[in-house]
Amino acid sequence: MNINRRGLFAGMLAAGVAAASLTACSTDSAGAPATTTPANTVPGAALRAGSGANTSLGPIKKIDAGVLSVAYAEFGPATGQPVILLHGWPYDAYSYADVAPQLAASGYRVLVPFLRGYGETTFLSAQTVRNGQQSAIARDIVDFMDALHIDKAVLGGFDWGARTVDIIAALWPQRVKAMVAVSGYIITQQAAQQQPLPPEAELGWWYQYYFATERGRVGYDRNRHDFNKLIWKRASPAWNFDDATYDRSAAAFDNPDQVDVVISNYRWRLSLVPGEPQYDAYEQQLATGPAISVPAITIGSDFDGAAKDGKGYRSKFTGKYEHRVLDGIGHNVPQEAPKPFAQAIIDADHL
């Protein structure tokens, strides 16, 4: 399998997951709303214990780091082992609203930054390219660690966040004490991205091809609130989040750089736009598919479809390693299943 070509909706390679995802937003043949599954039979219900318990990130702090003024939430004692948790698209720091307090209660210093293009994170210069390529985002987090004088941290993430964790662990392993990555090894290799997938798999990438057009850029800009809510529903069909939960995160999409960064990210993956020269050396290393040697726990969920068992990327992790499967959980693992995700962070720290 091509482990570099998965991203949002790649898990829909499995027909069952695709069907469940479509059903979540559909009506039955008579036009009536689709039947709601009773709560006690929803897949993964037990794993969702504690989800939604916290609705605040507390005061948002800011620090200049690299090319950004990074907005971030902080939890726990300043002297605790640093943990940095990274969100993806179309999500934000609220993905960790329940995870972070749990880790803080265990003595960790937890930092949850908003990535470039999200929330109150802004570029320091109007001249900086609003670049969404993978190594630029990873460099942002290393710069964030430098600005906070953090030599080494436990890193965790999903979606763009998991890719960023993978990249930092591969390129700067001395900065990573341990890591947790949902969906495992998802470093993008542009050459592999040029190879077509089976039709059903390509269907799951509809939004990426939409973003490749100017119509898609305008459509995303004009409809980003509803667009991203649709992504949430289809990526996590069994997660019954309410409007208030979504709207807390949707505020982060009003960032003035959101559209540019998101469109750049997906166009760059398909080699439709160039990256910036200062990241070329990083991308050349990542193109080789470097192994990850730091202690790691990977998590597979229903979103990953047939790849949830982790076998396709097991060889990429050469250090202490565990893989966990969360059946019945969708893409936003930390927000859907905060206790298992928090436990994975703690366990990775002690591998």
Residues 140-197 have pLDDT tens digits of 999 999 999 999 999 999 999 999 999 999 999 999 999 999 999 999 999 998 999 9
Token pair 């890719």: residue: 163
Confidence of residue 41 (pLDDT cuts 50, 70, 90): low
Residues 210-266 have pLDDT tens digits of 999 999 999 999 999 999 999 999 999 999 999 999 999 999 999 999 999 999 999
Q: Calculate what percentage of the chain has a pLDDT beyond 90.
A: 86
147 burial class (0-12, 13-18, 19+ CB within 10 angstroms)?
middle
- What is the Cα–Cα distance from 351 to 339, expressed in whole angstroms? 18
The predicted model scores a pTM of 0.89
80 vs 18, more confident: 80
Write out the H or E segment, with its range, that includes residue 109.
strand 109-113
Distance of CA 19 to the CA centre of its chain: 23
pLDDT higher than 70, residue 32: no
197 Cβ contact partners less than 8 Å away, ≥ 6 residues apart: 2, 5, 205
Confidence of residue 43 (pLDDT cuts 50, 70, 90): confident
Q: Would you report the helix, strand and coil content of the chain in percent, each value rounded to 5?
A: 45, 15, 40
Overall average pLDDT of the 71-89 stretch: 98
- What is the Cα–Cα distance from 328 to 338, expressed in whole angstroms? 14
- What is the Cα–Cα distance from 248 to 220, expressed in whole angstroms? 19
Confidence of residue 201 (pLDDT cuts 50, 70, 90): confident
Contacts 24+ apart (CB under 8 A), 128-132: 128/67, 129/276, 130/257, 130/260, 130/261, 130/264, 131/261, 131/264, 131/268, 131/275, 131/276, 131/279, 132/260, 132/261, 132/262, 132/263, 132/264, 132/265, 132/266, 132/268
